[in-house]
Amino acid sequence: MICGKIAAGKSTLARRLADRPATILISEDVWLSTLYRDQQHTVADYARNARRLREVMGGHIEALLRAGLSVVLDFPANTVANRQWMRGLFEKAGVAHRLHFIDVPDAVCKTRLRQRNAAGTHEFTVSDAEFDEITGYLVPPSADEGFETTIYRDAESRS
C-alpha cells in the first residue's frame, strides 16, 4: 500500500516493489484509464470510478493474497477510508502488510507533475488546481491506525 501526493513517486516505488518474485502490481490509474477512458473529467468522476474499481477488485486482490502472492497496490492510500478498505483486504486474507508513505513537499510534486504532463507519460494529466484539490484530501497515516509503515523522503522513493 502506498500513500503520497500526486507525482510524489508512488508508481515509481510501486514498480520497484513489484520487481520481486511472486509479486503482482495492480495500478489504479491503469485500470481507471482503461475502463473509464471518457468518464474521468473531474475529481468527482475519479471518486465515483475509483469506488467502482475497489468494489470489483477487492475479492480478486484477497484471492491473490490467499494464493501466497504479494500484491503491490498502486492505489492511493491517502485517506483513512481507503486505508481501511486496504486493511480489510489483508486482514481477510490473513497476510502481513506494509504501508509505504512518501512524504514529499508540494513544490517537488508540482515540478514533477508539470514534467510528467509535458512528457505525456502518465495516464492522466493533472493541473496545479486539481493537484491542490486532491492533495486537500490526503491524511498522512498515523500510528493510531496500526499499520506497519515505511516513510520515504524525497530522493528515497525515486531511487
Tell me the sheet residues that pair with 99.
Answer: 149
User: Is residue 159 scored above 50 in pLDDT?
Assistant: no
- Domains with residue ranges and CATH for the chain: 2-158 (3.40.50.300)
Cell 482503461 belongs to residue:
34
Question: What average pLDDT does the segment 113-139 reach?
Answer: 81
- Residue 139 has φ and ψ, to the nearest 5°, of -120, 110
Per the model's pLDDT, the better-predicted residue between 55 and 46 turns out to be 55
- The proportion of the chain whose per-residue pLDDT surpasses 70, expressed as a percent, equals 92
Sheet containing 99-103: order of strands: 2-4, 99-103, 149-153
Question: What average pLDDT does the segment 48-62 reach?
Answer: 95
- Burial tier of 8 (Cβ tally within 10 Å: 0-12, 13-18, 19+): buried
Q: What is the pTM of this model?
A: 0.88
Q: What is the pLDDT of residue 75?
A: 93
* Distance set, CA 25 to CA 44, 61, 86, 99 (Å): 25, 10, 14, 15
pLDDT per position as a tens digit, 62-113: 999 999 999 999 999 999 999 999 999 999 999 999 999 999 999 999 998 8
